[in-house]
Chains A and B, each alone.
Chain A
Amino acid sequence: MSDEKKSCSASPNAEPAAERSHLPMWILALTFVLLYLGAVFFDHHGGWFDREVYSPYASAEELDAWQPKFGAAALLAQGRVLYEKNCGICHGNDGLGKPGQFPPLAGSEWVNAKGVRRLEQIPLQGLNGPIEVKGQALNFPSGMVAIGTAMADADLAAVLTYIRSAWGNQAGEVMADDVKAARAAAGAHPQPLSGDQLAKMPE
């Protein structure tokens, strides 16, 4: 204001002209400090434009650390879903099967065996009756298809774990590696087993 007055009073007829003045250093310094702080904040909170990283996760590493580790209960839940989708139609969602047609799984000595090598072969190779389960003779000439061949190792392991834990069954967990080995043993073109063949297999 006072500068303006001065220039006016100095020469009233002169053409007003803008003068160039230097950018104050403190603005420059402040700009750089703010830019630096912004960059640090972005580095800590921005997730570097990763499309999988949303707030409240600050980085891909943090998101990775928060991935849930699923316990045995979740494995059972997965097995249950797969069982009811693939197996429950015949064996029943309650695991009781249908008398004379489809063997029960609840309390079955084949399911609750100590080892799982024999049990694993049933979904991987298929099975033709007759067979005796829980002292009850069953015959199913149409047979069980090798339904496990189309399932991933982990999925089939979850199903087998489920049938060995549900409906009062108390047998142990089945690992995906076991299923992998069993699949290799079953071969590429498995034929349905008969009850006698199955009985001769080691548990």
Chain B
Amino acid sequence: MKNGFAIFFAAFVVLGGSWCAFVLAPELQLGGAKQTSVLNSSEVYPIQRSGDATLGLQIYRANGCAACHTEQVQQDDVGCDMMLTSVGKNTNAVHEAYQSYFNTILREHLVGPRVVDSIDRIATNRGPWPGKLPVRILAPVDKFFADLEADKIAAAGGKIEIQIVALGPDIARGWGLRHSVAEDFLYDYPVQPGSLRAGPDLAGVGAWMPDLNSQLMHLYAPRSVVKDSVMPPFRFLFEIKKIGDAPSPDALNLRKEFAPPAGYEVVPKPEAKELAAYLLSLHADVPLYDAPFTSLSASTNAPANKP
């Protein structure tokens, strides 16, 4: 062969180069991913799945759930939410500090749409503070201007707490509180991020649909839980049995139009329970260093939902 060495060398460079780019580089970048700590907490994330949920991941895979569902929340931007926590003695001064600042600078620098819950109440009520504190006065803005505004209001005697919120259509839909990061997939094998959304994103489904019975009912008859669902029912994961001496404790509590004929009950097979356990284990909703945010419940000191 005339140019044997040149062809070999060219092929080597091309294949070696793509191996470096598609195998070596991701391995160097993410191969060392391990559990991280949750921001402002002594807890670690993610936690290894239970055995049921680990089996459920394979059911998720076998039924092609990833063909219609993604597990990755996208985030467009990040902004600061401002909560007025105290107005001090001089409500008027706080109001004026806010109003002048808003009219001159902030109006130009809002990130995303303007959301003002109660500033009108500040505007109309001179005198003692009428409503409950803390109250969200303007959201969301760029960090630099949020800090400036906090200084302004602090100078007027009020107090502002700045919260960091992730922004984007996925987050507005309630699918998560932040974008997905590599740690979310640490215990997934295989990783199934999905690419098509015929249904909602499931990265945080364990957080926004935390009830096991709803999950099972949704698998058996999607429209019994979500009215306009286009998801096909997965009835082969369930068993329709004649009720014996007593109804089974696992039987689904379905509405009339979805229920089996009288004398029969719908009981989930182990596969259905495992799949539901997997779905409940999808909890990508904690703040991490790579995806910081401050949850609203922590700063308003509302009762924590999770132990």
| Inter-chain contact A71/B161, CB cutoff 8 Å | yes
Query: Bound state CA distance, A71 and B143, in angstroms?
Result: 16
Query: Bound state CA distance, A152 and B37, in angstroms?
Result: 14
| Inter-chain contact A77/B301, CB cutoff 8 Å | yes
Query: Bound state CA distance, A155 and B43, in angstroms?
Result: 11
Q: Does any Cβ of B come within 8 Å of A68's Cβ?
A: yes
| Inter-chain contact B161/A73, CB cutoff 8 Å | yes
Q: A21-32 toward B: CB 8 Å interface, digit per residue (1/0)?
A: 000000000000
Range of interface residues on chain A? 20 to 34
| Inter-chain contact B294/A70, CB cutoff 8 Å | yes
Query: Bound state CA distance, A175 and B25, in angstroms?
Result: 44
| Inter-chain contact A74/B33, CB cutoff 8 Å | no
Q: Which residues of A contact B299 (CB under 8 A)?
A: 71, 73-74, 77
Q: Does any Cβ of A come within 8 Å of B42's Cβ?
A: yes
Q: Does any Cβ of A come within 8 Å of B188's Cβ?
A: no
Q: Does any Cβ of A come within 8 Å of B54's Cβ?
A: no
Q: Does any Cβ of B come within 8 Å of A41's Cβ?
A: no
| Inter-chain contact B300/A67, CB cutoff 8 Å | no
* 9-residue interface stretch from A80-88, A112-120, A192-200: A80-88
> Interface size of B by Cβ–Cβ distance < 8 Å?
33
| Chain B proximity of A87: nearest CB distance (Å) | 13
* 9-residue interface stretch from A51-59, A97-105, A136-144: A51-59
Q: Does any Cβ of A come within 8 Å of B40's Cβ?
A: yes
Assuming the contacts A67-B289, A85-B307, asked whether A51 and B163 have C-beta atoms less than 8 A apart, the reply is: no
Chain A: CB-nearest residue to B39: A68
Q: Does any Cβ of B come within 8 Å of A96's Cβ?
A: no
| Inter-chain contact A49/B29, CB cutoff 8 Å | yes
| Inter-chain contact B290/A52, CB cutoff 8 Å | yes
Chain B: CB-nearest residue to A76: B301
Contact of A66 among B25, B41, B161, B292 (CB under 8 A): B292
Chain B: CB-nearest residue to A71: B161
| Inter-chain contact A73/B300, CB cutoff 8 Å | yes
Assuming the contacts A74-B40, A76-B301, asked whether A81 and B307 have C-beta atoms less than 8 A apart, the reply is: yes
Q: Does any Cβ of B come within 8 Å of A63's Cβ?
A: yes
Q: Does any Cβ of A come within 8 Å of B287's Cβ?
A: yes
Q: Does any Cβ of A come within 8 Å of B291's Cβ?
A: yes
| Chain B proximity of A41: nearest CB distance (Å) | 18
Q: Does any Cβ of A come within 8 Å of B211's Cβ?
A: no
Q: Which residues of B contact A81 (CB under 8 A)?
A: 41, 304, 307
Chain B: CB-nearest residue to A51: B29
Query: Bound state CA distance, A74 and B307, in angstroms?
Result: 15
Chain A: CB-nearest residue to B75: A56
| Chain B proximity of A86: nearest CB distance (Å) | 11
Residue among A51, A57, A70 with the highest chain B CB neighbour number at 10 A:
A51
Query: Bound state CA distance, A70 and B78, in angstroms?
Result: 17
Query: Bound state CA distance, A155 and B37, in angstroms?
Result: 14
Instruction: Report B57-105 residues with CB < 8 Å from chain A CB.
Output: 75-78
| Inter-chain contact A73/B301, CB cutoff 8 Å | yes
| Chain A proximity of B142: nearest CB distance (Å) | 11
Q: Does any Cβ of A come within 8 Å of B30's Cβ?
A: yes
Chain A: CB-nearest residue to B33: A51
**27 A-B pairs with C-beta separation under 8 A:** A49-B25, A49-B29, A51-B182, A52-B290, A53-B290, A54-B75, A54-B179, A54-B181, A54-B291, A55-B75, A56-B75, A56-B77, A56-B78, A63-B292, A66-B78, A67-B39, A67-B289, A68-B39, A68-B293, A73-B161, A73-B299, A73-B300, A74-B40, A74-B299, A78-B40, A85-B307, A155-B42
- The 4 A-B residue pairs with the shortest CB-CB distance in the complex, in nearest-first order: A77-B298, A52-B290, A68-B294, A70-B40
Q: Beyond the given A56-B75, A67-B289, A73-B298, could you list 12 further A-B residue pairs with CB under 8 A, ordered by the A residue number?
A: A66-B164, A66-B292, A67-B39, A67-B292, A68-B164, A68-B287, A73-B301, A74-B299, A80-B304, A81-B41, A81-B307, A85-B307
